[in-house]
Amino acid sequence: MPAIDVAGEFETIQRLLKPLAHPEWARGLADDVAALPSRPGHDLVLTKDAIVEGVHFLPDDPLDTVAQKLLRVNLSDLAAKGAEPFGYLLACHWSERCGWPEREAFVAGLRRDQAIFDIFLLGGDTVKTPGPASFSATMMGWAPSGAAVSRGGARPGDLVFVTGTIGDGWLGLQAAQATLTLEPERMDALEAAYRTPMPRVEFAPVVLGLATASADVSDGLLADAAHIAEASGVRLEIDLEVLPMSAAAQAWFEGRVDPQAALELLASGGDDYEILLTLPAGAENALRREAERRHLRLTCIGRVTEGRGLSPRYLGQAITPTRTGWTHG
């Protein structure tokens, strides 16, 4: 790691980050590179996401959960490709508020998720910045050669499924900002979904074996469905009335006066980190069995047809939503 943050970089590396490093590949974080052995018959699958204070996390979010979210949004990308994660490169841009206790908290979050997901730190960089804090990770995983699932394989006749529930990330941000009022246990559940989403890593082998196309739901369910439709050259019809909701989201939904508008908000909010996938209708039973084995909720939310683009529907009628999700500059 090159020396930029002279006041705290080396101590941060030696005392906090070195214990997270892979015992061999990371070279003790004493070098400018990591050295990975090749894995015959596999492709190295890489993804990179960054999170910025005030944009992707709130200024008062605990830094241990910020670290966990950083890892998890990247792990979600790999899971949607059917890849098995093993390690990551990390860049920390510490703001003025990130003193030693804050750095310890951030590393505690990394350590917690390394144990959960069986991954290691491989290297990176740490600097100070006068601006807001920001962090990025490059997550690495393995997939059998040529088998990583793309957005571009959906075919007419396929069914569209999504894991878990939709809308909790968007509602969780509102809960964290105290702009939402629900029972305390509902608020806690939504805040947890926003701060520490659970990537569907355990479902990656199923995606690899059955899906024709997939993406993780980060920009918004409708936006990510549109990405699959565009990449595959097909139309995805999405039925909003069957959108899977958590108990907390259902409690919020029941208070809405316009159910269609409320469903559009949930389907475009983003930050859910579920897996959206397509597969042939004949593979539906196998997919459901695998989800049941993992105690994972799975919902058929639409179909792939001839044509192009996204076709959201509500109670059988095509609609034009106000928005489909987030776009990034």
For residue 103, give the 3-state DSSP assignment. Answer: helix
**Is 313 labeled as ligand-binding?**
no
272 is in an annotated binding site: no
Q: Which segments within 240-328 are labelled E, that is strand?
A: 275-280, 298-305, 309-314, 317-318
- For strand 120-128 and strand 42-52, is the pairing parallel, antiparallel, or unpaired? unpaired
pLDDT at 2: 40
26 in Cβ contact with 123 (< 8 Å): yes
- Tell me if 151 is assigned to a ligand binding site: yes
The answer to whether the beta carbons of residues 166 and 253 sit under 8 Å apart is: no
Can you say whether residue 311 is alpha, beta or left, with left for phi > 0 and alpha for psi between -120 and 50 degrees?
Answer: beta
| Residue 168 assigned ligand-binding role | no
The answer on whether 77 is annotated among ligand-binding residues is yes
- Please answer whether residues 17 and 121 qualify as being in contact, where contact means their C-beta atoms are separated by less than 8 angstroms: yes
Q: Does the annotation list 118 as a binding residue? A: no
SS3 15: helix
Give every residue of the chain whose pLDDT is below 50, as ranges: 1-7, 329
**Domains of the chain: residue spans and CATH:** 9-144 (3.30.1330.10), 158-318 (3.90.650.10)
What pLDDT is stored for residue 174 in this prediction? Answer: 95
158 marked ligand binding residue: no
Q: Quick count: other Cβ atoms within 10 Å of Cβ 10? A: 13
pLDDT at 200: 98
Whether 95 and 129 have beta carbons less than 8 Å apart is answered as yes
Is there a binding annotation on residue 32?
A: yes
218 is in an annotated binding site: yes
Identify residue 230 by its one-letter amino acid code: E
Reported as a single tens digit per residue, the pLDDT across 18-51 is 888 888 887 787 666 677 888 899 999 999 999 9
